[in-house]
């Protein structure tokens, strides 16, 4: 087995236990098996960039991290990644910011990562680069002479061509993807948009999974990420989950709970969700005191203005809805700005009659899969899912809705609350089958196999 080098903005530490995402779990297993290494930003800011690499080993996973300067964080992470690419790739060109400094900082930090990774790379290593923070990294590594297999996975949507062209130097950025051997997306829709851009905007060609530009052929594939299903099912039956479930149930006093769990991000559609729920309250005065929406929304990317704005909007909206509908002994929305470890989240999901997952646009959305996996098979809750989440392409037995429509959301909540046990079980079983079949290990192996094959394509190209 070749050694795996994973490179991503954030590096997860396995010993943090309950706070780990499925991605971290899957990659940690592969890194352990191959005695690989995970490279990324430490999350720390240093006065002057030194390039010094901090090596650590955490539960058998080796990590190599670097500190960044304040200007790097401003221009690369807060700037180009989260003020430019994130909104644009989530179709929000109205709030995307285009500044030369951001682009410069993004390229500078990617070059810092290339300089960090390069001396660690051995000829047989397989490299796997993750997400929109690191798009040009592969090209920078090729320029340093590395001929290894290098894959790239985009965890967020790929926007339609007519939106992508609003990015200054868009083709320069997209061209860098042709340094990779395999480029992965969560869904066929994002893949299709990528192919469309390459054909229409750059004059490239597409032949099945092979996409060619200027004599370079890469494999571009759709490969949806999954969760660590066995681990999550076990967590939902574990002690921490049971304790949390009991605590939540007691507080509900027999009311049906609707749960939302999202980073506090405008792409997650929280404003529209609150409005949809308010519409449900307006349409169903008889059910008022029988439901509670628990919205868990840990703050995210707080240095970015659009995130400060959505936070203020939601504070006001939750207050307004609660003010309008609350009674002395009932509050319709519990709005919680703190995060929970995943083993406790599993208990919260299990206590909820409805999982309300309504992003306006989302690469995948793992919360939707976790909600389903945490349910009691004998009495499962109902998932209401935005048709604009990547997860909707797999979880077709959820109640799929348009998150922009308060009426659709209101109707779906009513339908979910009334749904007979047999239908709930049937829908849950169908979703669970996919979640278990296409779990995170499946995702990792499927991508790794493509990367293995890709090398056979790459060699003749370079001969
Ligand atoms: O690192 P942050 O800036 O705090 O953001 C957290 C992560 O958010 C994004 O997640 C995406 O990846 C998920 C897994 O594939 C997917 O389910 C979800 O739809 C995406 O939004 C981001 O892409 C990650 O890089 C961030 O670490
Ligand atoms: O309080 C929280 C809220 C979320 N999460 C985890 O954060 C991830 C969110 O992933 P998702 O794909 O839904 O969205 P993203 O935030 O990556 O865009 C999921 O694994 C959640 O279990 C968590 O551990 N604690």
Look at residue 47 and tell me if it is in a domain.
yes
Separation of alpha carbons 419 and 414, rounded Å? 9
pLDDT tens-place string over residues 224-282:
999 999 989 999 999 999 999 999 999 999 999 999 999 999 999 999 999 999 999 99
Beta pairing, strands 205-207 & 210-213: antiparallel
pLDDT (0 to 100) of residue 147: 96
Beta pairing, strands 333-336 & 210-213: unpaired
Separation of alpha carbons 122 and 426, rounded Å? 50
Verify that 22 and 56 share a domain, yes or no.
yes
Verify that 247 and 340 share a domain, yes or no.
yes
Verify that 238 and 293 share a domain, yes or no.
yes
Specify the ligand 1 atom closest to the Cα of 389: 19
Query: Could you tell me if the CB of 18 is within 6 A of ligand 2?
Result: no
- 333 near 63, Cβ under 8 Å? no
What is the Å distance from ligand 1's center to 396 Cα? 22
Region of 444 on the Ramachandran plot (φ > 0 left; ψ -120 to 50 alpha; else beta): alpha
pLDDT (0 to 100) of residue 323: 98
Which CATH number is 403's domain given?
Answer: 3.40.50.2000
pLDDT (0 to 100) of residue 69: 97
Verify that 323 and 360 share a domain, yes or no.
yes
Look at residue 213 and tell me if it is in a domain.
yes
Verify that 220 and 285 share a domain, yes or no.
no
pLDDT (0 to 100) of residue 58: 84
Residues with CB under 6 A from ligand 1: 10, 23, 131, 155-156, 225, 300-301, 362-366
pLDDT tens-place string over residues 191-206:
999 999 999 999 999 9
Look at residue 461 and tell me if it is in a domain.
no
Look up the domain containing 420 and give its range: 229-437
Verify that 288 and 183 share a domain, yes or no.
no
Verify that 234 and 194 share a domain, yes or no.
no
Cβ burial of 349 (10 Å; 0-12, 13-18, 19+) is buried
Look at residue 86 and tell me if it is in a domain.
yes
- Count the domains in the chain: 2
Among 8, 19, 263, say which to mutate for ligand 2: greatest number of ligand atoms within 8 Å of CB: 263
Verify that 448 and 317 share a domain, yes or no.
no
For the chain, residues with pLDDT lower than 50 are: 17-18, 463
Task: Indicate which residues carry an active-site annotation.
Answer: 155, 362
Q: What is the pTM of this model?
A: 0.96
What lies within 8 Å, CB to CB, of 154 at 6+ separation is: 131, 132, 183, 184, 185, 186, 190, 363
For ligand 2, atom 18, which residue shows the shortest CA distance?
365
Verify that 235 and 214 share a domain, yes or no.
no
Query: Could you tell me if the CB of 412 is within 6 A of ligand 2?
Result: no
Look at residue 343 and tell me if it is in a domain.
yes
Verify that 197 and 272 share a domain, yes or no.
no
Verify that 122 and 156 share a domain, yes or no.
yes
Specify the ligand 2 atom closest to the Cα of 20: 24
pLDDT (0 to 100) of residue 330: 96
Look at residue 155 and tell me if it is in a domain.
yes
Verify that 192 and 268 share a domain, yes or no.
no
Q: Which of 8, 66, 1, 5 is nearest to 37 (CA)?
A: 5
Separation of alpha carbons 155 and 331, rounded Å? 36
Look at residue 463 and tell me if it is in a domain.
no
């Amino acid at each position: 087995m070749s050694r795996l080098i994973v490179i991503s903005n954030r590096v997860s530490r396995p010993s943090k236990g309950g706070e780990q995402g499925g991605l971290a779990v899957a990659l940690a297993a592969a890194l352990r098996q191959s005695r690989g290494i995970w490279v990324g930003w430490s999350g720390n800011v240093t006065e002057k960039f030194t390039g010094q690499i901090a090596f650590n080993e955490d539960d058998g996973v080796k990590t190599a991290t670097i500190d960044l300067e304040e200007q790097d964080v401003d221009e690369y992470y807060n700037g180009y990644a989260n003020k430019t690419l994130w909104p644009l790739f989530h179709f929000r060109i109205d709030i995307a910011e285009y500044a030369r400094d951001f682009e410069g900082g993004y390229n500078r930090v990617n070059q810092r990562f290339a300089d960090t990774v390069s001396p660690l790379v051995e000829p047989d290593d397989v490299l796997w680069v993750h997400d929109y923070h690191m798009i040009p990294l592969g090209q920078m590594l090729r320029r340093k002479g590395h001929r290894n297999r290098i894959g790239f996975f985009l965890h967020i949507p790929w926007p339609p061509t007519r939106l992508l062209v609003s990015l200054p130097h868009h083709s320069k950025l997209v061209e860098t993807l042709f340094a990779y051997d395999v480029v992965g997306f969560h869904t066929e829709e994002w893949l299709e948009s990528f192919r469309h851009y390459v054909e229409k905007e750059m004059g490239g060609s597409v032949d099945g999974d092979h996409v060619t530009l200027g004599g370079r052929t890469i494999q571009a594939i759709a490969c949806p990420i999954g969760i660590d299903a066995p681990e999550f099912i076990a967590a939902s039956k574990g002690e921490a989950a049971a304790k949390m479930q009991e605590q939540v149930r007691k507080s509900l006093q027999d009311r049906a709970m609707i749960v939302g769990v999202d980073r506090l991000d405008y792409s997650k559609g929280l404003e529209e969700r609150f409005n949809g729920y308010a519409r449900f309250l307006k349409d169903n005065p008889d059910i008022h005191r029988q439901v509670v929406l628990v919205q868990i929304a840990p703050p995210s990317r707080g240095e970015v203005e659009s995130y400060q704005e959505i936070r203020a909007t939601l504070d006001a909206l939750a207050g307004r809805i609660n003010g309008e509908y609350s009674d002395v002994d009932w509050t319709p929305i519990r709005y919680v700005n703190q995060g929970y470890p995943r083993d406790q989240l599993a208990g919260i999901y299990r206590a909820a009659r409805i999982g309300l997952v309504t992003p306006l646009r989302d690469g995948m959305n793992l919360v939707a899969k976790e909600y389903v996996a945490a349910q009691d098979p004998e009495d499962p809750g109902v998932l209401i899912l935005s048709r604009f989440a990547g997860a909707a392409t797999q979880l077709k037995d959820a109640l799929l809705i348009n998150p922009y429509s308060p009426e659709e959301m209101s109707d779906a909540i009513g339908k979910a609350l009334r749904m007979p046990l047999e239908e709930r079980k049937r829908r849950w079983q169908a979703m669970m089958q996919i979640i278990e079949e296409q779990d995170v290990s499946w995702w990792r192996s499927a991508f790794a196999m493509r990367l293995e094959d890709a090398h056979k394509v790459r060699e003749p190209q370079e001969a």
